[in-house]
Structure 1
């Protein structure tokens, strides 16, 4: 078993590059810090710290251990808060957290006088949100793609239409809709990775001979919108993410033929251990809204 106190000492030694400085930061004696590191090394059967003239240097093994040690200490903090200061941490992938969730959060805040949940919000990429959910760093997640895993429950919260966005002067901007044949031959700008759009496209275009190419991966819908406005390319995004731009005329949003290309927003939460409360209050609120 890895002792959290030992891990905390290791982290501090790496940060301070000194046993003495680490001891002062933690309010412990230097021999105690040395003992913690020694016990960790004995447990793992590896050397963790090199003493050199310039200070203490972590070994390769220590650097491998470091992110896990930090994660374990964060999890400890979450566990203590869950017992002593209950709160609900919500994770959302970027598109959902930025373009869809905010009005619901505001409405929920108005009901706080009658609801005990304290909410904290984390917005990140879909893979990071999924990882945080599995590591118990968040309690509820809203994601564009979720593979389904044991110990979690999920439901579709909303279904979002995808549209092709172009500059106003682009040839495709004149079309009322985009057919499969046109879509399959396009060169697109990519947005947030791990959001499942590629899987949806593959299923939607499975009968076509060609498949859209991705010329540039930009990492977020905001970056994609700016690139399209600058004339760098075109892309597929949530219809809800470009409402303002379409209204102001800086972008054109063209629906897919028969509005056939959509994405299900997954609401995911950890299974409750008690029968009395099957769903967290915030989950019930979102599903009923």
Structure 2
């Protein structure tokens, strides 16, 4: 049997190389790793010297990883995955007492995801939580770049190989100012929305995509008066009379008038959607993530036969 030869490089050099290749920048890698730029540059130079090959090449004012650097990054990721497996096996021997859960949710999940994590950490107090609450585009980017293991969102991206677990109903309601005359009606036809000023979330938002689909399906003119970056901003703008909006029911108080808004009884609303817990099917999840999925499945899972269509 051939004797296994120890590598001539260090773990820190490999970690630094992976960050530089992934981020495409020495500066951003230094920021992520909490190192100085000279330290990052020195580690890369030492790594190149040990391997006797170029890993980065200049391009304009920046750098570009060589083909060898890309191959080395994949090797580094394989090493990291194998080390993670060892740590999980060690945790399994001693019980799930340590570990990190990396999870992200789209902005509306801020109204409930903390409770999910509280329930989880009550059973696993040694788990550290890294939670990001961002817009949908950012969450998709985190999944794409393997910066998180789990995500909670309404509309998972189609371009990634994902497993999905329906976990909570997410009714989307139409709101106006609390004294809006439509709030006194029993039911209005959807044609009343044709050309009405609407307030929307940013492009790429799941709620925006659903609203656009609703208007398109019924041949209604979507008049976007303003685009705002959060549910709170949307509610304040609606309360001020700037326009109507479609929001998740989870974003409203139990009594919507406390937010200064009213739910308007227009045909087709609420639009029935679901929150999904999603993860990459082509990645091996940590023990902490697998236990979280099991915990959520036991507490919150919905039937996959639930209606997803626009009413």
TM-score (norm 1): 0.69
Distance 2:227 2:141 in 1: 22
Q: Residue 228 of structure 2 aligns with which residue?
A: 218
Q: Residue 112 of structure 1 aligns with which residue?
A: 124
Pair 33,203 (structure 1): closer, same or farther in 2 beyond 3 Å: closer
Correspondence 1:252 to 2:252:
no
Correspondence for 1:11 among 26, 45, 53: 26
Deviations 1:230-264 (A, max 9, x none): 22222110112112561526221224436451222
Aligned residue-pair number: 256
Distance 1:187 1:212 in 2: 8
Pair 177,108 (structure 1): closer, same or farther in 2 beyond 3 Å: farther
Matches within 5 A, 1:130-169: 130-149=140-159, 151-169=161-179
Q: Is the 8 A contact 1:41 1:47 kept in 2?
A: no
Correspondence for 1:280 among 279, 283, 290: 290
Correspondence for 1:195 among 193, 205, 210: 205
Distance 2:258 2:167 in 1: 29
Q: Is the 8 A contact 2:235 2:260 kept in 1?
A: no
Q: Residue 103 of structure 1 aligns with which residue?
A: 115
TM-score (norm 2): 0.65
Q: Residue 227 of structure 1 aligns with which residue?
A: 237
TM-superposed deviation, 1:181? 1.2
Distance 2:53 2:240 in 1: 55
Correspondence for 2:99 among 86, 92, 107: 86
User: Could you list the runs of 5+ residues in structure 1 that have no partner in the other structure?
Assistant: 49-58
SS in structure 1 of the partner of residue 58 of structure 2:
coil
TM-superposed deviation, 1:161? 1.2
SS in structure 1 of the partner of residue 234 of structure 2:
helix
Q: Is the 8 A contact 1:163 1:238 kept in 2?
A: yes
TM-superposed deviation, 1:211? 2.8
SS in structure 2 of the partner of residue 243 of structure 1:
coil
Pair 60,12 (structure 1): closer, same or farther in 2 beyond 3 Å: closer
Distance 1:287 1:253 in 2: 31
Pair 288,192 (structure 1): closer, same or farther in 2 beyond 3 Å: farther
Q: Residue 265 of structure 1 aligns with which residue?
A: 275
Distance 1:40 1:167 in 2: 68
User: Could you list the runs of 5+ residues in structure 2 that have no partner in the other structure?
Assistant: 1-12, 88-97, 300-311
SS in structure 2 of the partner of residue 136 of structure 1:
coil
TM-superposed deviation, 1:111? 2.2
TM-superposed deviation, 1:188? 0.5
